[in-house]
Structure formats: C-alpha cells, structure tokens
C-alpha cells in the first residue's frame, strides 16, 4: 500500500497544482486516469484495464458493469487526506504488478512441527506457574545455595 499512497499523493499534488479538478465527476475520473497512466509509466506497475467507461460506472449498477470498480464513495477533492486514501485504493484496484507480498510464514515451518508439541513445555495453569516460582525461590533461600555462593 505505501507505493499506492506515494502515487496518490503525487497525482493529487499535480492535479491540484494544475487546477484540473472540476465539478463533473466523470471528467475528474478521466483526468485521474491520464495522470495515473503517466505516474506509473516506467515502473513495474501496469493498468489492468485499457479503458474504463466512467459514464457506465456512474449510471448503472455495479453488477451490470463490464469493469467492476465501485466509484460510489468518491470523497470531495477538497478533503485532501481522505481523497488521497481513496485514490490510493482506486490505484490499487486498477493496477497490477509491483512488489509481491511476502509468502505466508506457514511455508517456512516444517510439517513435522506443530504448536501442540511446543505447548507441552509451557505451563498452562496459574497453579503450575506459582509452583515453579516457589521452587526457584526455595532454591535461592536454601542452605546449599547460601553456603556455596555466600561472600
């Protein structure tokens, strides 16, 4: 997600500086697509879709659209932080590539190891914990310890 946030911040800054935002949502989305294309150019990211019909996205239900992207919750562009977060999520949905997430840690654990075998070494009850603590305290209070390590 950090890469998408960086893209979103850069795009928002460019669009805001060039004062390209308008009151027309469809025009805004088409402008954003232009800036997204230029921003991801030369990176390992690429667009999933060559063309997104935003008129269809805004006028028909999501289930009937060819490209399944929910554009119903676009925040106003004057709310900078909220808009950047939305834009980062939008960029994530319409692009592919980029750094791969790390594999699940389960792949690195051998099959013969299980959590159950590890739990046998842990004290499970409060009584067991108190008894072990008492044994340690008794050892340090014992005559053997005091005579051996007394200085």
DSSP H/E element including 138 = helix 126-141
The predicted pLDDT at position 104 comes to 77
Say if 125 falls within a structural domain: no
Say which residues have a Cβ less than 8 Å from residue 25's Cβ, sequence separation at least 6: 54, 58, 71, 74
Q: Would you write out the chain's pLDDT as a tens digit for each of its 151 residues?
A: 688 899 999 999 999 888 888 888 888 888 888 998 898 888 888 888 888 877 777 777 767 777 777 777 888 888 889 989 989 988 888 888 877 777 777 777 777 766 665 555 555 566 666 666 788 888 888 888 887 776 5
User: Which letter does DSSP use for residue 124 in this model?
Assistant: -
Say which residues have a Cβ less than 8 Å from residue 10's Cβ, sequence separation at least 6: 39
Say if 59 falls within a structural domain: yes
Say which residues have a Cβ less than 8 Å from residue 57's Cβ, sequence separation at least 6: 29, 65, 67, 69, 71
Say if 143 falls within a structural domain: no
Quick one: CA torsion of 77, 78, 79, 82, rounded to 10 degrees? Answer: 20
Say if 129 falls within a structural domain: no
Say if 110 falls within a structural domain: no
Give the integer Cα–Cα distance in Å for 40 and 32: 12
The predicted pLDDT at position 84 comes to 92
Which region, left, alpha or beta, applies to residue 21 given φ > 0 means left and ψ of -120 to 50 means alpha? beta
DSSP H/E element including 47 = strand 45-47
Domain count, the chain: 1
65 lies in which domain range? Answer: 2-97
Threshold 0.75, pTM exceeds: no
């Amino acid at each position: 997600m950090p890469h998408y946030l960086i893209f979103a911040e850069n795009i928002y800054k460019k669009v805001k500086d060039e004062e390209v935002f308008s009151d027309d949502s469809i025009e805004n989305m088409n402008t954003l697509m232009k800036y997204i294309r230029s921003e991801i150019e030369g990176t390992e990211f690429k667009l999933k879709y060559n063309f997104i019909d935003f008129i269809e996205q805004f006028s028909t239900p999501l289930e009937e659209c060819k490209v399944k992207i929910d554009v119903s919750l676009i925040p106003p562009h004057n709310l900078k932080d909220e808009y950047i977060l939305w834009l980062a999520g939008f960029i994530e949905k319409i692009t592919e590539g980029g750094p791969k997430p790390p594999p699940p840690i389960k792949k690195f654990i051998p099959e013969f190891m299980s959590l159950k075998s590890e739990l046998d070494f842990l004290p499970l009850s409060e009584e067991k914990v108190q008894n072990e603590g008492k044994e340690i305290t008794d050892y340090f209070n014992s005559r053997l310890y005091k005579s051996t390590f007394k200085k």
